[in-house]
Amino acid sequence: MKRLLLVFLPVLTLYAAHAGSVPPDDGKLRIICFGAHPDDCEIQAGGVGAMWSAKGHHVKLVSVTNGDIGHWRDAGGPLAKRRKAEAEAADQILGVTCEVLDIHDGELLPTLDNRRLITRLIREWKADIVIAPRPNDYHPDHRYTGVLVQDAAYMVTVPFFCPDVPYLKNNPVFLYYPDPFQKPNPFQPDVAVATDSVIQKRLDALDALVSQFYEGGANGYPELLPSDPAKQKERRAKVRGDFEKRYEAQAQRFRAKLAEFYGPDKANSIRYAEAFEICEYGRHPDQQELKKLFPFFGE
């Protein structure tokens, strides 16, 4: 008996760690967001992610690469470790689950292996909603994250593709983050959410991504890092202020869509927003289902 237990113990431990990372089937919504780098999901869906999480829904943010060239001074393993720790700290503030895949930054390709990887992650999370960048974003890693999620959008329902992970009987709703790119077609919002109630929390989360914003990431430079504490405070305030302006601009850009969901009076008082476009692949929710998937409009 003892020997049998010893043989099975490693298997049991592995199973427990794996099962622990997937939330229970408790009827709550299950959302998985993909970004190319350990900051993309936090920028694009941190607000609505925190709002879902506050209502007990299950949100996971996945960075498809490890971000190991995303800095002007540091690179490689030490930077990957630092960025993973930063993303974990940010996601803890947002109340969401964090995963950073160990693929080199700047080298993501839409391979069959990566299609399987993304398919498995969506299935394991038993996602109702999957969010990703559009495949015409400026950065190759963003583009291929978009392509990989599109490639998985139908395959998650196909039983004999990756038969090691149970397929999804209900195709999730796939959504895109907003971007400014016009060709071949501009982003068109299908749903817009006021994130005023979580703006401080989402700015705190972005504040935790020090290497990217405070230090400037890949395009930063030494002069961004003042040694004088007063100037450091100024730098932090500037980073926070710039993000605040970004979400204000989004509320302005998506005001008409906010009005559809909140009514025109309420929409005019909304200061910060996030918006998403429904991907043509995956399930197509009508307005009524969108209100169930985004249970925030009566507030």
Give, as ranges, the residues between 232 and 291 that touch Zn ion (CB under 5 A): none
Closest CA to 101 of 36, 194, 24: 36
Among 31-39, 81-89, 224-232, 274-282, the segment contacting Zn ion (CB under 5 A): 31-39
CB of 220 to Zn ion, least distance (A): 14
Tell me whether residue 37 or residue 235 sits nearer to Zn ion (CB atom): 37
- Contact with Zn ion (CB under 5 A): which of 37, 57, 58, 115? 37
Characterize the bridge pairing of strands 129-132 and 30-35: parallel
Among 12-20, 35-43, 200-208, 218-226, the segment contacting Zn ion (CB under 5 A): 35-43
Residue nearest to Zn ion (CB): 37
Tokens of 267: 């929409």
Considering the rule CB under 5 A, would residue 68 count as an interface residue with Zn ion? no
Tell me whether residue 37 or residue 84 sits nearer to Zn ion (CB atom): 37
Characterize the bridge pairing of strands 273-282 and 191-194: antiparallel
**Binding mask 111-130 vs Zn ion (x if CB under 5 A, - otherwise)?**
--------------------
Tell me whether residue 37 or residue 116 sits nearer to Zn ion (CB atom): 37
Tell me whether residue 36 or residue 69 sits nearer to Zn ion (CB atom): 36
Report the C-alpha gap between 106 and 233 in whole angstroms: 32
The secondary structure of residue 193, as a DSSP letter, is: E
Tell me whether residue 36 or residue 152 sits nearer to Zn ion (CB atom): 36
Please tell me whether residue 197 adopts helix, strand or coil conformation: helix
Report the C-alpha gap between 247 and 270 in whole angstroms: 11
CB of 219 to Zn ion, least distance (A): 12
Contact between 206 and 45 (Cβ < 8 Å): no
Tell me whether residue 32 or residue 64 sits nearer to Zn ion (CB atom): 64
Considering the rule CB under 5 A, would residue 40 count as an interface residue with Zn ion? yes
Tell me whether residue 99 or residue 128 sits nearer to Zn ion (CB atom): 99
CB of 105 to Zn ion, least distance (A): 9
CB of 117 to Zn ion, least distance (A): 18
Bridge partners (DSSP) of residue 192 are 275
CB of 75 to Zn ion, least distance (A): 16
**Binding mask 145-174 vs Zn ion (x if CB under 5 A, - otherwise)?**
------------------------------
Closest CA to 109 of 68, 71, 163, 151: 151
Tell me whether residue 157 or residue 212 sits nearer to Zn ion (CB atom): 212
Contact between 245 and 134 (Cβ < 8 Å): no
Closest CA to 239 of 226, 250, 251, 252: 226
Give, as ranges, the residues between 195 and 234 that touch Zn ion (CB under 5 A): none
Considering the rule CB under 5 A, would residue 36 count as an interface residue with Zn ion? yes
Q: Which residue has the tokens 């909304």?
A: 270
Closest CA to 297 of 188, 156, 195, 201: 195
On the CB side of 271, CA atoms within 13 Å amount to: 8
Binding residues for Zn ion, total number by CB under 5 A:
3
CB of 221 to Zn ion, least distance (A): 19
Report the C-alpha gap between 292 and 29 in whole angstroms: 9
Report the C-alpha gap between 213 and 207 in whole angstroms: 8
Rule CB under 5 A: which residues touch Zn ion?
36-37, 40
